Structure 1
Amino acid sequence: MTLTGHCLCKATTYSVDVDAPLLTGYDHCDDCQRQSGSTYSLVTVVPKDKLTVNGPLKKWEGKGSSGNSVWRWFCGDCGSPIAHDPDAAPEIIAIKAGTLDTEIKKNLKPDTEIWTVSKLPFCQETLAHPFKHMPE
């Protein structure tokens, strides 16, 4: 299975050559809330070496709770968030699942919640695998 997606203006596209994502879940961290402009960010975590990106990609460096950098990837034209890339876990990358092609994202089955310590109190949905921070 190849995961494919694009930004809002379609200038930045990507593909991930994997059988399945490592996990799909809700990321409740404050930074993801701010980047998404919503209560959480739906992410699909994949091996970074399987990701290919084409188009005007920009990156912004923030700091994670580990003190290491977390790189926020976004389209250089429309600003759509594409992924976040934590230096603390260099082998993985979290694709912003809302940017996946429509038929792919319709079939996602979120199974994990991370950073529930930052979960907003009115978000009642809880999945089978909640983690207060990043899973170990």
Structure 2
Amino acid sequence: MGLSGHCLCGAVKYTVDAEPLIVGYDHCDDCQRQSGSTYSLVVVVPKDKLKIDGTTKSYASKGSSGQPVHRVFCPECGSPIAHDPEAAPPIIALKGGTLSTEDKKKLKPDTEIWSVSKLPFCQEHLEKPFQHMPE
């Protein structure tokens, strides 16, 4: 099957010639800050199966392992594309929101990581979710 995706402006595109190893919600503080949301939907894939077309930039910070985590993003629109932990060289975690619409609809998250940082209100379910922005 494989996966494909792109940033908001389309300057960065990628394909993955593999199925996801893990699809999950990452609640770490760094992912919250990078995504600007309460968690990051991550799709972990083998790094050697990922092909990125377009220019990317990265920002490295120390992960919980003590080793750098490289946060890859589009320098034009700022869309986060992936995070690449040096502590786990064979894998890379794509940001699920950048996948093609078709691929996103097929995702089945099965894991939550960094739940110690999960915000308390994420545990509650709304009785009436909005299908779109409320008017």
TM-score, normalized by length of structure 2? 0.90
CA distance in 2, matches of 1:50, 1:92: 9
- Give secondary structure in 2 for the equivalent of 1:122: helix
Answer yes or no: is 1:98 the counterpart of 2:97: yes
Query: In structure 1, what is the equivalent of residue 24 of structure 2?
Result: 25
TM-score, normalized by length of structure 1? 0.90
Percent identity over the alignment is 73
- Report which of the two has the higher share of strand: 1
Structure with the greater alpha carbon radius of gyration: 2
Could you tell me which runs of 5 or more consecutive residues in structure 2 were left unpaired when the two chains were aligned. Answer: 125-135
CA RMSD of the aligned region, Å? 0.8
Could you tell me which runs of 5 or more consecutive residues in structure 1 were left unpaired when the two chains were aligned. Answer: 126-136
- Report which of the two has the higher share of helix: 2
Which 4+ residue blocks in structure 1 deviate beyond 4 angstroms? Answer: none
CA distance in 2, matches of 1:69, 1:102: 31
Amino acid at match of 2:73: F
Answer yes or no: is 1:79 the counterpart of 2:78: yes
Amino acid at match of 1:75: C
Q: Deviations over 1:23-77 (max 9, x none)?
A: 1000000000000000000000000000000112001111101110000000011
**Aligned-pair distance for 1:90?**
0.5
- Give secondary structure in 1 for the equivalent of 2:78: coil
